[in-house]
């Protein structure tokens, strides 16, 4: 039986995630607490891994209940604890000093800061996919690959690349159920530019296309559809129907694929 093996949320966009036992679904479709904070510069542009490699060297832990975060620079001992409400100015000063330019820590509790605003629901991948892809690269462990891919929900008791069933054809969505909540698979996550300057092996990601060519026989459908041309394309983006907000996803919830629905038909119904 396919089930939710783990749930991760990423309180500050582009920084480390935390494992949780359950997560509620917001009206936007996002998981509560996921990417609810972001770092931005004076122009309002997000400071993320695509634009600043320094993000890779920040390590974050986060106490959601008490809203206390801990930041440290990788491979150093000093840890900076701060309350995200009462000490916002202090952490912004610390981050500005770290990046070398003024930044703000902004928050959006309604929608968070999703990568894809058309599919702001939780991202999906199977645990076996993470393990399989990690095995392609020397000295890359499963946890490192998990950190790279940054999916919200991992599906267990399924083979690697099981989630390709959630990739729809053109003008379709794939509906599936997790516990009591219904989700719609939209497309693989769009590629992002991943710096090689963090703790993962530097040679791993530039050679991904070569590795993919050697592994095509185990995932011909993904390659044929043109979906898998980047590590981030392994992950399924989702959105949620109107009845899903407020429901809770738990570790252990069963996952059921309900079938494909025409996107144009859904739009007609919603109109």
* CATH pick for 3-32+114-270 out of 3.90.1070, 2.40.33, 2.60.120, 2.40.10: 2.40.33
The four Cα atoms 58, 63, 66, 69 give a dihedral, to 10 degrees, of -10
For the chain, domain boundaries: 3-32+114-270, 37-107
- For the chain, count helices (H), then strands (E): 6, 15
What's the mean pLDDT when you consider all of the chain?
Answer: 83
Residue 137, helix vs strand vs coil: coil
Burial category of 129 from C-beta neighbours within 10 Å (exposed 0-12, middle 13-18, buried 19 and up)? buried
Residues 153-169 have a mean pLDDT of 88
pLDDT at site 226: 47
Pick 99 or 213 by higher pLDDT.
Answer: 99
pLDDT at 271: 42
pLDDT for position 68:
96
Please name every residue paired with 65 in a beta bridge, in sequence order, or none if there are none: none
6-48 per-position pLDDT tens digit: 999 999 999 999 999 999 999 889 999 999 999 999 999 999 8
On the question of pLDDT at 120 being above 60, the answer is yes
Residue in this structure with the two tokens 């645990």, named with its chain if needed: 127
Q: Report pLDDT for 166.
A: 87
Give how far the C-alpha of residue 258 lies from the chain's centroid of Cα atoms, to the nearest Å. Answer: 23
Mean pLDDT of 73-77: 92
- Higher model confidence: residue 137 or residue 44? 44
pLDDT in tens, 179-201: 999 999 986 655 443 433 333 43
pLDDT-derived band at 148 (thresholds 50, 70, 90) equals confident
pLDDT tens-place string over residues 83-113: 999 999 999 999 999 999 999 999 998 889 9
Query: What is the phi/psi pair of residue 231, to 5°?
Result: -55, -40
Q: Could you tell me the sign of the dihedral formed by the alpha carbons of 33, 47, 115, 154, in that order?
A: negative
CA pair distance 23, 152, nearest whole angstrom: 10
């Amino acid at each position: 039986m396919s089930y939710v093996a783990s749930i991760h949320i990423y309180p500050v966009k582009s920084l480390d995630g935390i494992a949780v036992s359950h997560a509620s679904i917001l009206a936007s479709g996002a998981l509560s607490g996921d990417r609810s904070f972001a770092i931005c510069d004076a122009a309002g542009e997000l400071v993320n891994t695509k634009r600043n490699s320094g993000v890779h060297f920040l390590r974050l832990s986060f106490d959601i209940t008490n809203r206390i975060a801990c930041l440290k620079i990788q491979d150093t001992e000093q840890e900076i604890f701060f309350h995200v409400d009462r000490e916002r100015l202090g952490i912004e000063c610390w981050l500005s000093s770290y990046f070398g330019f003024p930044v703000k820590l902004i928050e959006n509790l309604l929608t968070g800061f999703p990568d894809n605003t058309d599919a702001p629901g939780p991202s999906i991948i199977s645990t076996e996919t993470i393990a399989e892809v990690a095995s392609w690269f020397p000295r890359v462990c499963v946890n490192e690959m998990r950190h790279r891919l940054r999916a919200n929900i991992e599906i267990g008791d399924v083979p690697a690349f099981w989630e390709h069933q959630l990739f729809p054809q053109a003008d379709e969505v794939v509906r599936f159920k997790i516990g009591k909540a219904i989700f719609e698979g939209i497309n693989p996550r769009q590629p992002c530019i991943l710096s090689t300057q963090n703790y993962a092996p530097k040679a791993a990601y530039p050679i991904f296309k070569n590795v993919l060519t050697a592994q095509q026989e185990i995932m011909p459908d993904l390659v044929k559809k043109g979906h898998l041309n980047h590590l981030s394309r392994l992950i399924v983006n989702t959105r949620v129907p109107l009845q899903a907000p407020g429901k809770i996803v738990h570790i252990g919830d069963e996952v059921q694929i309900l079938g494909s629905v025409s996107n144009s038909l859904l739009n007609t119904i919603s109109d």
